Amino acid sequence: MRLLIGALIAAMSLAACVHADDRAPPGYAEACWGGRDNNPRYVAFTDRRVVVTVAAEQEDWDRLAGVFVDVATAHGLKVFDSSVAAPNLRALMIEACDPSGISLRIDKRIFGNVKIFGQPSGKVEIALYTYRPEAHFEPVGDTLVTKLQATWKDAKVERFPAVPPSKKALPDAVRYLLARECAEAQRPRPDYCQGL
């Protein structure tokens, strides 16, 4: 279920940046999903790798955002903050990315008195995704865990393996593109080709 929710959030982020006249900030498409031409590979290779859940009420969001930005800055990730503080919507939405295939996200929203896209009241997830199979995400994940556990002692940490494209429900066009790429690849073929 969490994998499905993560995939839906990633798809919504992707859908928000599909057109040339969209409102995505400069550099977002390139840093956070490899550019518009990388869409099929983004769909095939996006995986949640590390998730840290902390108990953070709204009054803690600034401190949580500070830790998030510190981690991103320490690893040279580009930060995109679309947080909102309005009467009917309070949202902590920050993404920090690198074209090497790393995306770090917080997405906690409270609409009126209803919580959406997040954990129950007081729980916030910080998730590290990779969207390229060769992304070297471990240093970012380790720093994230260390810094969050230093402030939130009861932080829950989960780590996930990458899921090969052959095990994902991919659109036919994406699967076809990868299968063709693998058929044309010289030996040894990339690991992700197995099962396609």
pLDDT for res 112: 76
What DSSP character marks residue 37?
G
pLDDT in tens, 169-191: 999 999 999 999 899 988 888 88
Q: What's the first-to-final CA gap in the chain, in angstroms?
A: 24
**Average pLDDT, rounded, for the chain:** 86
Confidence band, pLDDT 50/70/90 cuts, at residue 7: very low
pLDDT digits (tens, 9 = 90+) for 138-173: 999 999 999 999 999 999 999 999 999 999 999 999
What's this model's pTM, rounded to 2 decimal places? 0.81
Rounded to whole angstroms, how far apart are CA atoms 193 and 180?
10
**Cα 125 from Cα 108, distance rounded (Å):** 8
For residue 49, pLDDT beyond 70 = yes
pLDDT bin (cut points 50, 70, 90) of residue 92 is very high
Architecture of domain 2-163: 2-Layer Sandwich (3.30)
> What pLDDT is stored for residue 13 in this prediction?
47
In the prediction, which pLDDT does 144 show?
A: 97
Q: For the chain, give the percent of residues with pLDDT over 90.
A: 63
Over residues 105-115, mean pLDDT:
81
- pLDDT the model gives residue 8: 38
- Report whether 164 contacts 192 (CB < 8 A): yes
pLDDT value at position 9? 42
Q: In the predicted model, what is the mean pLDDT of residues 1-13? A: 43
Domain boundaries, the chain: 2-163, 165-196
In contact, 136 and 56? CB cutoff 8 Å: no
Q: Which residue has the tokens 């074209």?
A: 99
Helix axes 61-74, 138-151, angle to 10 degrees: 150
